[in-house]
Amino acid sequence: MATTALPSIPTADVGHGYTTTGLPHRKVAIWAFIGSECMLFASLISTYLIYKGRSVKGPFPHEPWTDPSTGHVFKPILNIPVTSCSTFVLLMSSLAMVLALAAVENRDKPKVTLGDRILGSSRLWLFMTALLGTTFLGFQAFEFTSFVHEGLSIRTNLFGSSFFTLTGFHGAHVTAGVIWLLTMLAIDFKRGLGPKDALNVDIMALYWHFVDVVWIAIFTLVYLIR
Amino acid sequence: MPFPSRPRRQVAAALAGAAVLAVPLLLAACDVKSYPNSTFLPHSEFGKAIDDLWNLLLQLGTLVFVFVEGLLVYTIIKYRRRPGAAPPRHVHGNTTLEILWTVIPAVILVFIAVPTVKTIFKTEARASADALQVEVYGHQWWWEFRYPQYGVTTANELYLPIGRKVNFALRTQDVLHSFWIPQLGGKRDLISNHTNYLWFTPDSTMSTSAWNGTCNEYCGASHANMRFRVFVVPPADFARWATHQASPAVFPVSTVAPPPPPAPAPAATPARRPAGRTASGAADAQPLVRPVANGALGAQAAADADAPTIVQGGSQAPDGDVFPRDSLRPNNIPTTPTPDGLTFTPGLVGDAGRGQKIYSISACIGCHTIKGNPSSVGITGPNLTHVGSRFTIAAGLYPNDTEHLRLWIKNAREMKDGVLMLTLGLNQIDPQTGIKVTAGGLTDQQIADIAAYLQALK
Amino acid sequence: MATTAAPTFATHTEYAVGEGWRAWLGTTDHKKIGYLYFFTALFFLMFGGAEAEMIRWQLRAPNEHFLSAETYNQIFTMHGTTMIFLVVMPMSAAFFNLLIPLQIGARDVAFPRLNAFSYWVYLLGAIFISVPIFFGAAPNGGWFGYAPLTTMPYSPGLNIDFWALGLQILGISSLAAGFNFITTIINMRAPGMNLMRMPMFTWMAFVVQFLIVLAFPVITIAVVFLVFDRFFGTNFYEIAAGADPLLWQHLFWVFGHPEVYILVLPAFGLVSEVLPTFSRKPLFGYPVMVYSGILIGVLGFGVWAHHMFAVGMGPIADTVFGVTTMLIAIPTGVKIFNWIFTMWGGSIHFTTASMFAIGLVGMFTIGGISGIMHSSPPADLQQTDTYFIVAHFHYVLFGGSLMGLFAGIYYYFPKLTGHMLDERLGQWHFWLNLVGSNLAFFPMHFSGLLGMPRRIYTYDANQGWDGFNMMSTAGAIIVGVASAILAINILISRKRGAPAGNDPWGGGTLEWSIPSPPPVYNFVHIPRVTSRYPMWDLTSPQLTADVPHTRAGDKSVEVDVAGVDAGHAGPRPGGAPAGRSPAPVVAAARIPTAEELGIPIPYTTLKPFFTALGLTVMLSGLPFAHADMPGIEYTLIFAGACTLVGSLFWWVTSPLEPEVAHSEHTH
Amino acid sequence: MSADSSHGTDASVDAVEHALGAEHEHPTWSVYWKIATILTVITVIEVWCYYLPGFVSTAFFVPTLLALSAAKFVIVVMFYMHLKYDHKLFRVLFTGPLIIAMIAITALLFLFGKLAIRTGLLT
Ligand code: HEA
Ligand code: HEA
Ligand code: CUA
Ligand SMILES: [Cu+2]
């Protein structure tokens, strides 16, 4: 590069794309936000693990429990097959999300085959992501209600409190993500998303994948490890 | 510029002032009379281990302090702006220096860290099995002490034998508290759903001593009023004390026994009472407790299976007063003023026998235990079995004399902020609820009787 | 340097907010927001200070009853909470706002509306947490609110509700600001301002933002648990359900220890600006200062359990946390020595600002040394929860954070307002503060080691504490007088102080190249930076010749406004001492407006304010659940949530600033 | 972007800013599908492990599951969140906090005796 002094930038231009790193502000911010969320979920997960096995009464995640006062036998609470399905659903939503982003980025590329057209439809993939996210939430709602029926609520014991709070926080993140996706989908239907919207979709995607990644950790630490 | 040379004079003056202030203070800190709770005077091996570490910290800290502050003062005096001086050279750093002041503190820290770690592992080893076991229970806002090896339960006053290792098991019944006797070593918290341990051996250089202990973890309204006393006595005295405390409350028989001679004569109290405290005239008018026969209770006591030693009623009851009162130092005697509006009808004479009957049908029994009084088995409040032998009431807040005991029973909630014990005096207003006590409230005469009864429980 | 012909804006007049107080309510200008932070924090300093004076008055002698136990407990809790969350953090935020964009040569922060939002959340949260004290219902669980004391069975009143929700609100403010400043510092530095040329204050602010975004989520979760326990009957701190009170302690201190560095690093940054200017020498060992700041931040996450040496964690944990705590002395020591060597060989000019900075170096060292004394776990068993700790943290907080912020106030007040603070009052403030705070806090070392527990509203006579408490109270009164002088000085000088000019002190960093107070757009041209002290390169090139430059001879900082008054060689004492005529401040040429320069300025907007309002109203509904007023509870929650969602939507869908119409800038 | 040309370019400017250069190629659609398959397979293996009583009782169970989920975690972050292809700065912004978070979790588990070291000392 030239060694002479480059001209200063008129401040009039700074609002228009100039950044020191060349990266958009919002993308830097979302990564900082994700870093911060790591600590949020770390606190929740630690609490769950610390309280695991400390409840003075059941029901428990992996072991059956007989209530000494009533003699009622509680099954192990966690339902691995169901949660495995919802985990799979959430993983697939991440796939849909990357495809949606790719579709938005490549909006202007010519689409020859039917395959191109399907893969290139941002509406389809945004919709799929939101749908899969909603399905995950449906699974969670099912899980929560069935736990309550089986005798575990957020007030029952330490396991209940920490379990519902941890998974509830995650569910709240998914819900926020679904709303975000639906908003984006609405914009797509209204005026179509193109490369200039790629940044917005990218940021949403980063958030969405992060929520997925958190679930990967939760699924192993909470459901599978006993 | 505003202050060309003043900094030098002022800084020098400030330093000199600090030195003049600090040195005598440091020396004075070792004076047990003026500073009765000083941590500089350890009386156990645990305390000494900490003190050694502390001395090291103090020396190295002083070294760093003198060096850094000296360097700072020297620099600002030497390099203050002088008129006409050339502008300073722009120095950006000096690697050697910077390495030096990374390494030297690191070395100092090694000197701190090594003894620290050694002391950690020494003081946190398990106590030997033959140690005296004491279970400490924290309550809002008083202390319960149990000696499982002796079957003793008492409150707010801890007796320890000289020269024997004592191992405390620390638990709390409600919120967190922290157990601390400055002269005997560091503190340890009482944590719900945990048992913590702390041990030390009160050393034998003094024949007897009384220390003040405190609660050090903020635990609510009366955290400040959660104090206790520690009496370190020769082993024989300790054994005598423990035997006595383990026995059920024995009610002295009036016809046989003369008034117990070394009773906490209220007449003696005013002499120790510092000026300025509200005095309610009743105290001085109160004669010694009149013992009353009570065969039934004696029999009940004999039947009490818990008691390791069965003491027959009457004057043979050992004296609960193990610790010599003359050894109490001013700091052991509470000076808390009684609340302004709270008074007691002067001239009333309490009757312990009557008091025993009233006590046994009052609210008291719902919260207090008196071993030997079958109706009194509550566990919310302190065990009152030998309450008459204690020096203080209400977790070290008031001396255990007639005046304070009566006021306490009359309106404990005025006497101590936030306390759980109810306001019981007739027509008294409960400061927590604002409700006036009417039906079931105790008259002053009844209170005087109960106080007489409690004082008789030596 | 000439500006190109003014571009035309496509403005949306409907987004503009009016004049006067409405302009303040809607401002998105980082300097105005800094101004708001500054005066709000100053107000709360008086508030927290008044509480401190009440504490001291109660403790002046044994067995006093100026305050009841309950009142005292509320007052000390609010004193700690106020000083930490409503004074030092926001005062630091005032400087972040004022300085970061100016020091890195930016027009504003990355997200101006988010910035306004942070302030309003802080203000409303501060009101929320402070007002109950006037009704005797203030938080009373201590500033670290240990469970289970704060749970429903032991604190059934509303007091702790206010505390928990208040902290939650304040946390949102700090987090939002954290993301904002991280982005600003990463992304809005002027060309050439690489990380190793960033002014030290900005550097320390950068570290602090990371501490904030990593530490606050943890307290958020800890408090969420508490709120759930109190409102929804969960068991996180419920002893009967087998809960472990240490969970709260660990989560709190995982946040709490980084928090203390959040409190002190901005002050360190300010001192690192003040000392070079008044020694006329660059900061000694700049790279090491940067690394030590980062190291303090990183280590700060690994030492939290040193607040828990008495809880019985076991020897291994005690060892690990004791040793990591000691390690922090090394980077901190590096800072202390580098400051001293910044002055060494310099030409130290004693102004109030530099004296406070020097005061920090002296006072913080004392607090640091007592910190090291706590870091030895067995020794700490004799110290913890006594006045010895109170002495430690007032030396680091008062002697560190507050002294540093005072230095910053005297140094940057001219930049903020365009007027100098009065130096004579400043000298009074400094000396009374130095004497008073030492008199107040030094004796606490003794009362602590002589057995006095902290957080006691009363104590018995004859314990050997009377004299020390008397001294502390006397000292506190002196500090109170000093603070009153500061308040008077600020109120008077705000409008009537001597005019400051661009650069009253001869500073070396970019903020001194522009007028005081800076125009709304800050810089006409974003300068190109070639060294750490661009202004000194400009004003006294002969001195900075051996400064590490990237390109020798490249001195392209532009000073935007005519009548520059920058001088490295000598100060511009706006508030010159009596008997001297103030140095002439060259009248600045007319400062061009943003429109003339074609610089788009973010619209003033009430949306952030309403979003903050909605948030606070929503959360303030909750305590009514415990006051048995479900009607009010649900109304507030519903109204708040609607306001929140509505204004947020309105905010996200409205443009930040006018769009520039001319073609070459569209993307 | 026009601004790119005017921003600092000399080599000594610090690494964080300039190590990246231009944006790398993003993975293609087929890569995304392959990754989804890998993720699914790993998940299946995880669940399968859970149903092997003989394996669950061994000391390998927990580490295996942790390793498998860590692998999934890394894959999603690297490819779906395209951290592998993106600016280094983002890697720092993410991994720094992640490391602190993991250390905090581990330390807390030690402190609460979930990962015990037995010493025969007071606890
Ligand atoms: C600004 C805030 C701040 C800062 C910067 C610090 C800095 C430090 N703190 Fe402090 N601390 C608090 C605020 C702060 N603290 C508060 C508020 C509390 C109480 C909370 C509560 O309970 O309410 C507390 C409590 C506290 C405790 C718990 C005490 C207890 O409750 O039992 C401990 C224990 O280790 C501790 C240690 C330290 C250490 C080692 C440092 C170090 O960072 C200090 C390092 C600095 C130096 C050492 C000086 C300079 C160095 C040199 C000149 C080099 C040479 C020196 C040596 C080799 C020694 N602090
Ligand atoms: C930055 C933080 C900070 C600052 C600056 C201070 C400043 C002061 N603090 Fe405080 N303090 C804490 C943080 C701070 N404190 C914390 C965290 C605690 C622990 C709380 C807890 O245990 O939970 C604490 C606790 C604490 C205690 C212990 C209470 C106890 O344990 O029982 C004491 C006792 O003396 C004390 C005293 C003082 C004094 C005298 C000042 C003085 O420096 C104050 C000087 C005064 C002013 C700065 C204002 C001047 C006021 C006026 C001029 C009046 C005008 C009034 C109006 C206009 C309305 N503080
Ligand atoms: Cu018990 Cu404080
Ligand atoms: Cu700390």
Q: Which of A108-122, A185-199, B136-150 has the highest mean pLDDT?
A: B136-150
* ipTM of the prediction: 0.90
B310, B249 in Cβ contact below 8 A? no
C139, C78 in Cβ contact below 8 A? yes
Helix (H, G, I), strand (E, B), or coil: what is residue A66? strand
How do residues C137-162 score in pLDDT, each as one tens digit? 999 999 999 989 999 999 998 999 99
Which ligand 2 atom lies nearest to the CA of residue C487? 53
A210, D81 in Cβ contact below 8 A? yes
pLDDT value of position C603: 86
* Number of structural domains found in chain D: 2
Residue B319 sits in the same domain as residue B414: yes
pLDDT value of position A111: 79
> What percentage of chain B reaches a pLDDT higher than 70?
77
> What percentage of chain B reaches a pLDDT higher than 90?
53
What's the first-to-final CA gap in chain B, in angstroms? Answer: 76
* Number of structural domains found in chain B: 3
Secondary structure in 3-state letters for B234-298: CHHHHHHHHHHHHCCCCCCCCCCCCCCCCCCCHHHHHHHCCCCCCCCCHHHHCCCCCCCCCHHHH
Residue A29 has pLDDT above 50, yes or no: yes
CA neighbours within 13 Å on the CB side: how many for C41?
23
At how many degrees (to 10) do helices C69-81 and C30-58 cross? 150
pLDDT value of position B252: 53
Q: Span C30-496: which CATH code?
A: 1.20.210.10
pLDDT value of position C278: 94
CB neighbourhood size of C493 (10 A)? 21
Over residues D50-58, the mean pLDDT reads 86
Ligand 2: lining residues by beta carbon, under 6 Å: C 45-46, 49-50, 52-53, 55-56, 76-77, 79-80, 83-84, 88, 142-143, 390, 394, 397-398, 401-402, 437, 440, 454-455, 472, 476, 479-480, 483-484
For residue D119, what is the nearest residue in chain B, using CA coordinates? B125
Q: Does B286 reside within a domain? A: no
Distance between Cα B35 and ligand 1 center (Å) = 26
pLDDT band at residue B205 using 50, 70 and 90 as cut-offs: low
Distance between Cα C304 and ligand 4 center (Å) = 6
Q: Best residue in C29, C202, C247, C551 to probe A by mutation, most A CBs within 10 Å?
A: C247
Q: Does D116 reside within a domain? A: yes
Instruction: Report the relative pairing of strands B142-147 and C9-10 from DSSP bridges.
Output: unpaired
What is the C-alpha to C-alpha distance for residues B375 and B391, in angstroms, rounded to an integer? Answer: 25
Query: What is the domain-level CATH number for residue B437?
Result: 1.10.760.10
Buried b (16+ CB within 10 A) or exposed e, C347-378: bbbbbbbbbbbbbbbbbbbbbbbbbbbbbbbb
Q: Whose CA is nearest to atom 1 of ligand 3?
A: B177
Residue D63 sits in the same domain as residue D109: no
The residue ranking higher by pLDDT, C443 or D55, is C443
pLDDT value of position D11: 33
Residue B167 sits in the same domain as residue B19: no
pLDDT value of position C523: 87
How do residues A35-63 score in pLDDT, each as one tens digit? 999 999 999 999 999 998 889 888 999 88
Residue A215 has pLDDT above 80, yes or no: yes
pLDDT value of position B120: 94
Residue D66 sits in the same domain as residue D31: yes
Helix (H, G, I), strand (E, B), or coil: what is residue C107? coil
Over residues C165-169, the mean pLDDT reads 96
C408, C267 in Cβ contact below 8 A? yes
Over residues B135-155, the mean pLDDT reads 94
Contact A35 D93 (CB under 8 A): yes
How do residues B285-301 score in pLDDT, each as one tens digit? 333 333 333 333 333 33
Contact C235 A157 (CB under 8 A): yes
The residue ranking higher by pLDDT, C330 or B277, is C330
Tokens of C236: 């996180």
pLDDT value of position B398: 95
C159, C138 in Cβ contact below 8 A? yes
DSSP C360: H
* Closest Cα in chain C, distance from residue A157 (Å): 6
pLDDT value of position A110: 80
Tokens of D95: 């991994």
Over residues A128-146, the mean pLDDT reads 96
Q: Which residues of D touch B124 (CB under 8 A)?
A: 121-122
Is C385 near chain B, with CB under 8 Å?
Answer: yes
Q: Which of residues 131-190 of A touch C (CB under 8 A)?
A: 154-155, 157-158, 160-162, 165
* Closest Cα in chain D, distance from residue B232 (Å): 25
pLDDT value of position B155: 94
pLDDT value of position A14: 62
Residue B61 sits in the same domain as residue B202: no
Exposed (0-12), middle (13-18) or buried (19+): which is B209, by Cβ within 10 Å? buried
Backbone angles phi, psi at B147, to 5 degrees: -115, 90
C209, C186 in Cβ contact below 8 A? no
Residue B412 sits in the same domain as residue B444: yes
In 3D space, the residue among C440, C506, C505, C445 whose CA is nearest the CA of residue C473 turns out to be C440
Ligand 1: lining residues by beta carbon, under 6 Å: B 64, 68, 105, 108-109; C 144, 260, 263-264, 306-307, 309, 325, 328-329, 332-333, 336, 365, 368-369, 371-372, 374-375, 380, 383-384, 389, 392-393, 396-397, 400-401
pLDDT value of position B311: 34
Residue C470 has pLDDT above 60, yes or no: yes
The residues, any chain, with a CB within 8 Å of residue C387's CB and separated by 6 or more, are C444, C445, C447, C448, C452, C453, C454
Q: Does B365 reside within a domain? A: yes
pLDDT value of position B99: 92
pLDDT value of position C7: 55
Tokens of B275: 């000026």
pLDDT value of position D118: 43
Distance between Cα B67 and ligand 2 center (Å) = 29
Structural domains for chain A: 25-62+73-224 (1.20.120.80)
CA neighbours within 13 Å on the CB side: how many for C664?
8
Residue B283 has pLDDT above 50, yes or no: no
pLDDT value of position C545: 63
How do residues C196-239 score in pLDDT, each as one tens digit? 999 999 999 999 999 999 999 999 999 999 999 999 999 999 99
Is B126 near chain D, with CB under 8 Å?
Answer: yes
Residue B29 has pLDDT above 80, yes or no: no
Residue B203 sits in the same domain as residue B339: no
The gap from C-alpha C350 to its chain's centroid, in whole angstroms, comes to: 24
Over residues B110-135, the mean pLDDT reads 92
**Adjacent-strand bridge partners of A9:** C526
C524, A10 in Cβ contact below 8 A? yes
Tokens of C378: 């067995």
Whole-prediction pTM value?
A: 0.91
Q: Which segments within A21-109 are labelled E, that is strand?
A: 65-66, 73-74
The residue ranking higher by pLDDT, B148 or C627, is B148
Ligand 3: lining residues by beta carbon, under 6 Å: B 138, 141, 177, 215, 217-219, 223, 226
Residue B433 sits in the same domain as residue B394: yes
Helix (H, G, I), strand (E, B), or coil: what is residue B439? coil
At how many degrees (to 10) do helices B45-78 and C329-343 cross? 20
Contact A20 C189 (CB under 8 A): yes
Contact D122 B197 (CB under 8 A): yes
pLDDT value of position A5: 38
Residue C385 has pLDDT above 90, yes or no: yes
- Rounded to 5 degrees, what angle do the CA atoms B313, B318, B321 make? 130
What is the C-alpha to C-alpha distance for residues B250 and B389, in angstroms, rounded to an integer? Answer: 12
Q: Which residues of D touch C665 (CB under 8 A)?
A: 2
CB neighbourhood size of D64 (10 A)? 15
pLDDT value of position D16: 33
- Spell out the domain ranges in chain C: 1-17+592-667, 30-496
Residue B276 has pLDDT above 70, yes or no: no
pLDDT band at residue C525 using 50, 70 and 90 as cut-offs: confident
In the block, residue with structure tokens 């480059």:
A6
At how many degrees (to 10) do helices C245-279 and C403-417 cross? 60
In 3D space, the residue among B102, B121, A47, D119 whose CA is nearest the CA of residue C322 turns out to be B121
Over residues D109-120, the mean pLDDT reads 68
Q: Does D33 reside within a domain? A: yes
Segments forming the whole domain that contains residue D94: 87-123
pLDDT value of position C268: 97
pLDDT band at residue C659 using 50, 70 and 90 as cut-offs: confident
The residues, any chain, with a CB within 8 Å of residue B5's CB and separated by 6 or more, are B80
Q: Whose CA is nearest to atom 32 of ligand 1?
A: C384
Query: What is the domain-level CATH number for residue B201?
Result: 2.60.40.420
The residue ranking higher by pLDDT, A220 or A106, is A220
Which ligand 1 atom lies nearest to the CA of residue C309? 32
pLDDT value of position B26: 65
Tokens of C406: 């005072």
pLDDT value of position B119: 94
Q: Does B262 reside within a domain? A: no
Least confident of C85-99, C119-133, C584-598, C602-616: C584-598
AA identity, residue B390: R
A37, C548 in Cβ contact below 8 A? no
pLDDT value of position B294: 38
Catalytic residues of C: 79, 108, 143, 173-174, 257, 259, 261, 272, 306-307, 332, 335, 454
Residue C342 has pLDDT above 90, yes or no: yes
What's the first-to-final CA gap in chain A, in angstroms? Answer: 59
Q: What is the mean pLDDT of chain B?
A: 80
Q: For a substitution probing ligand 1, which of C374, C375, C388, C441 has the most ligand atoms within 8 Å of its CB?
A: C374
**Helix/strand/coil percent split, chain B, to 5:** 40, 15, 45
Segments forming the whole domain that contains residue B418: 293-456
In 3D space, the residue among A61, A3, A24 whose CA is nearest the CA of residue A219 turns out to be A61
Residue B382 sits in the same domain as residue B300: yes
pLDDT value of position A163: 96
Q: Give alpha helix (H) positions in chain D.
A: 2-6, 15-18, 29-50, 53-56, 61-75, 88-111
pLDDT band at residue C348 using 50, 70 and 90 as cut-offs: very high
Instruction: Report the relative pairing of strands B196-200 and B166-172 from DSSP bridges.
Output: antiparallel
Q: Which of B82-96, B314-328, C262-276, D17-31 has the highest mean pLDDT?
A: C262-276
Q: Which of A168-172, C647-651, D112-116 has the highest mean pLDDT?
A: A168-172
pLDDT value of position D29: 79
Residue B73 sits in the same domain as residue B144: no
Residue B136 sits in the same domain as residue B97: no
Residue D58 sits in the same domain as residue D77: yes
Residue D78 sits in the same domain as residue D32: yes
pLDDT value of position C118: 97
Q: Residue B138: enclosing H or E segment and its boundaries?
A: strand B132-139
Over residues C405-409, the mean pLDDT reads 97
What is the C-alpha to C-alpha distance for residues C265 and C205, in angstroms, rounded to an integer? Answer: 7
Residue D40 sits in the same domain as residue D61: yes
In the block, residue with structure tokens 């009596």:
C578
Exposed (0-12), middle (13-18) or buried (19+): which is A83, by Cβ within 10 Å? buried
What is the C-alpha to C-alpha distance for residues B96 and C571, in angstroms, rounded to an integer? Answer: 32
Residue B16 sits in the same domain as residue B118: yes
Q: Whose CA is nearest to atom 22 of ligand 2?
A: C142
Of D10, D14, D107, nearest to C196 by CB-CB distance is D14
Contact D89 A97 (CB under 8 A): no
Residue B143 sits in the same domain as residue B115: no
Distance between Cα B66 and ligand 4 center (Å) = 24
**Adjacent-strand bridge partners of B411:** B423
pLDDT value of position B196: 94
pLDDT value of position D83: 85
- Rounded to 5 degrees, what angle do the CA atoms B156, B157, B159 make? 150
Query: What is the domain-level CATH number for residue B26?
Result: 1.10.287.90
Residue C581 has pLDDT above 60, yes or no: no
Q: Does B313 reside within a domain? A: yes
Over residues A179-201, the mean pLDDT reads 92
Helix (H, G, I), strand (E, B), or coil: what is residue B148? coil
For residue A18, what is the nearest residue in chain D, using CA coordinates? D3
pLDDT value of position B323: 84
Q: Which of residues 84-113 of A touch C (CB under 8 A)?
A: none
CA neighbours within 13 Å on the CB side: how many for A147?
30
Q: Does D11 reside within a domain? A: no
Residue C551 has pLDDT above 70, yes or no: no
Residue B97 sits in the same domain as residue B147: no
Q: Give alpha helix (H) positions in C64-111.
A: 69-81, 89-104
